[in-house]
Amino acid sequence: MIDFHTHTLLSDGELIPAEHIRRAEVKGYRILGFADHGDLATMANLLPTLREAAGRENELGRMTVVVGVELTHLRPVQFAEAVRRARDLGAQVVLAHGETLVEPVEPGTNCSAIEAGVDILAHPGLISPDDVKRAVERDVCLEISGRHGHSFSNGHVARLGRDMGAKLIFGSDAHASGDMPTRDFAERLCRAAGLDESDVAAMFRHAEALAQRAMQRRRS
């Protein structure tokens, strides 16, 4: 299992990083991404803590932990600065909290996040064809979400993404151990969104490639 979108109690998850890691390991995770909610005011405290937690686990070599952040409810005009700041603070993967159907995310967030160069646009809701095209041009992955509510638009994202050649990626958006799916269940969720087996296989290849880029960022 590869999953870049999970949350600890450093934002709104339930578990400290060490237990979060252990619970993911038991679920069969091979690559786990921390993606706690952050903004321009909180990243300076959040990311060093996540880096230390990930570094201690990665020294053991049992599972790969990737440091990320989910830029959440920013104003669209703030995304360019926030992505640069996240990279400077050591984020290996940067996610944006997209225009989900179930939260009051400001319109224009999807476009601004893509333009700013996030790695993953999480739960992008009723993303427009123009924004999917931008994601293709900027090599931004569009998330198929495992979280109730955010998953309501999975079919729309899957259809547009597949038809327009966007990179799709699965993200559990796990806030507790019970939210962490096995690889088999994650694949079934993606097929339920209208993707076939070859599409799902491509999604996890995209995840592998993103993990490789993230490891390069760690070494640099």
Report the mean per-residue pLDDT for the chain: 97
Q: Which pLDDT score, from 0 to 100, does residue 61 have?
A: 87
For the chain, which residues score pLDDT lower than 50? none
User: Is the whole model's pTM more than 0.95, yes or no?
Assistant: yes
pLDDT digits (tens, 9 = 90+) for 69-90: 999 999 999 999 999 999 999 9
Measured between alpha carbons, how far is residue 100 from residues 64, 112, 125, 176 in Å? 29, 15, 4, 20
**Residue 36 · residue 70 · CB < 8 Å:** yes
Q: How far is CA 30 from the centre of its chain?
A: 16
Cross-strand pairs, 144: 170
pLDDT of residue 219: 61
Domain boundaries, the chain: 2-219
CATH number of 2-219: 3.20.20.140
Structure token digits, residue 40: 């321009």
Nearest to 43 by CA among 100, 83, 6: 83
